[in-house]
Amino acid sequence: MPTVHASACSAQRRRPITPLTLPCRIDDNWHVLKRELDKAQTPQSSRRPRRVALLVTFAAVLVLASPALLPDRRDSFPLSTFPMFSSLIEPVVEIDYAVGLDRDGNDATLDPETIAGTDEIIIAGSILSQAVNAGEVALAPLCEAIATRISSSSRASEIVGVEIRTDRLDAIAHFGGDQSPLTRTPHWTCDVG
């Protein structure tokens, strides 16, 4: 650790680096370096860890806010654009669904597990809509798959058929008491068992 008397160095500082002036230069720089090291290493005033922490916070916020910052960002996971329930929607809607039919032709509600083999209603709804859009080629196997699930369930004795259909409904009126659909389009029917 170089130590050179301050007054001896003051005259040397403006001169070029030579073997004579070098100890003074090292001494000067050492003090600057030590001051910086002290700043960085003393826990009470450590700046670098705080800067790193701040950087992590900023990065986290930027990444999480990126769906709003980037144009045309698609909804994803775990970063979302939160489109669900934010869009404008009309009260009259079309819903694709499947029902069981009993011996008298009455409807029996089917759950997502029976319709699509999953407990997720959105997946069940989307499987039905895709089949409706694809037509016979997708409707027939889907209807058969539903019928097979029913036949191996406890409801096999009460349900004799399956119908895949689209109802056009006024959702507000439905909860107001008028539950009849505005229009009903049956797409496919199949037997159970």
Partner 1 sequence: MSAEEGLFAAFAGTAPPERLAVVRVGVFGFAALYLVARSTSIMSVADLDERRFAPIGPISALDAPIGSTTLLALLIVTIAACFGACVGYRWRLTSILAAVGLTLTLAYRLSWGQVLHTENLLVTHAVLLALMPAADAWGVDAKTGRASREAWVYGWALQTLALATIVGYVLAAWAKAKNGGVDWITGDVLRNHIAYDNLQKKLLGDVSSPFASVAVPHGWLFPPMAAASMIIEIGSVAAIARGTIRIWWVALTWLFHLAILALMAILFPYQLVGVAFLPFIKGEELVRRSLPAFHRRRATQHR
Of 16-24, 25-33, 154-162, 175-183, the segment contacting partner 1 by CB under 8 A is 175-183
Question: What's the min distance (Å) between Cβ of 112 and partner 1?
Answer: 6
What is the separation of C-alpha 59 from the centre of its chain, rounded to a whole number of angstroms? 18
Question: What's the min distance (Å) between Cβ of 176 and partner 1?
Answer: 5
Q: Which has the closest alpha carbon to 127: 94, 157, 98, 162?
A: 98
Number of H helices, E strands in the chain: 7, 4
In a 13 Å sphere around the CA of 80, the CA atoms on its Cβ side amount to 6
In whole angstroms, what is the distance from residue 45 CA to residue 160 CA? 78
Could you say which residues in the range 95-154 bind partner 1, by CB under 8 A? Answer: 95, 97, 109-112, 114-127, 130
Binding mask 51-80 for partner 1 (x = CB under 8 A): --xx-xx--xx--xx-xx------xxxxxx
**Contacting partner 1 (CB under 8 A), which of 1, 20, 32, 88?**
88
**Contacting partner 1 (CB under 8 A), which of 43, 71, 105, 183?**
43
Q: Which is nearer to partner 1, 19 or 85 (CB)?
A: 85
Question: What's the min distance (Å) between Cβ of 32 and partner 1?
Answer: 18
3-state secondary structure of 95: strand
Q: Which has the closest alpha carbon to 65: 51, 55, 80?
A: 80
Question: What's the min distance (Å) between Cβ of 104 and partner 1?
Answer: 20
Q: Residue ranges of the alpha helices (H) in the chain?
A: 6-10, 22-41, 48-69, 112-116, 121-134, 136-151, 171-176
Q: Interface with partner 1 by CB under 8 A: which residues? A: 43-45, 47, 49-50, 53-54, 56-57, 60-61, 64-65, 67-68, 75-91, 93, 95, 97, 109-112, 114-127, 130, 167, 169, 171-172, 174-177
